[in-house]
């Protein structure tokens, strides 16, 4: 099975690597501007003024747009999950390569659960636009609180370990 994969896709190694890198770029950076310059300032304002209806309106609009804005990231991530292991197989890599093992541990053990949760919050039952359209006001508010919890807890993890992934892949320190 793996031999067949190597034989068929081996000549395409660099093309797959290009696709992998493009997907990594989209995954890492596609939500960064919306997050840093729109979402976080509005959510900080909401946390300081939780009963201000104008800020709550801005918060609601921003998080609904952010749900949609995460689409690029969430298309890119499955591409990474497919192309990454393909490169591992085609490149003849093994567990004796330290930087690669650590990188894969980070992707599959840390980022995969985070992204599954993110899919749920942005496009699944936690999608705020659909909750609003369904008239589920209480569920809408709960979903926003849950999303903010997710962003609070995941932000330091994502920033540090996304950076670590790039450092491991490029500098290969171990």
Say how many Å lie between the first and final Cα of the chain, rounded. 30
By CB under 8 A, tell whether 18 contacts other proteins: no
Both tokens assigned to 48: 């300081």
Instruction: Report whether 14 contacts 87 (CB < 8 A).
Output: no
Nearest Cα to Cα of residue 19 among 104, 90, 76: 76
Nearest to 35 by CA among 44, 22, 46, 24: 44
If one asks whether residue 60 binds other proteins (CB under 8 A), the answer comes out as yes
61 contacts other proteins (rule: CB under 8 A) = yes
Nearer to other proteins, 20 or 59 (CB): 59
Residue 24 has a CB neighbour count (10 Å cut-off) of 21
Smallest gap from residue 67 Cβ to other proteins (A): 11
The answer to the question of residue 86 lying near other proteins (CB under 8 A) is no
* Residue 74: CB minimum distance to other proteins, A: 17
By CB under 8 A, name the binding residues for other proteins. Answer: 40-41, 44-45, 47-57, 60-61, 68, 94-98, 101-102, 105-106, 109-110, 129, 132-133, 135, 137-138, 140-141, 145, 148-149, 151-153, 155-157, 159-161
């Amino acid at each position: 099975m793996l031999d067949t994969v190597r034989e068929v896709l081996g000549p395409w190694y660099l093309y797959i690597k290009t696709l992998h890198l493009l997907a990594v770029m989209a995954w890492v950076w596609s939500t960064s501007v919306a997050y840093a310059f729109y979402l976080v300032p509005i959510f900080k304002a909401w946390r300081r003024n939780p009963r201000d209806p104008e800020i709550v309106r801005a918060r609601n609009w921003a998080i609904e747009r952010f749900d949609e804005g995460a689409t690029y990231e969430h298309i890119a991530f499955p591409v990474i999950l497919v192309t990454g292991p393909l490169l591992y197989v085609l490149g003849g890599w093994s567990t004796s390569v330290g930087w690669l093992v650590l990188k894969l541990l980070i992707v599959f053990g840390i980022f995969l659960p985070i992204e599954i949760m993110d899919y749920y919050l942005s496009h699944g039952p936690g999608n705020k636009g659909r909750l609003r359209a369904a008239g589920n006001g209480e569920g809408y508010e709960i979903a926003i609180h849950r999303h903010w919890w997710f962003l609070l807890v995941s932000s330091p993890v994502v920033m540090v370990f996304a950076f670590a992934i790039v450092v491991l892949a490029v500098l290969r320190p171990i």
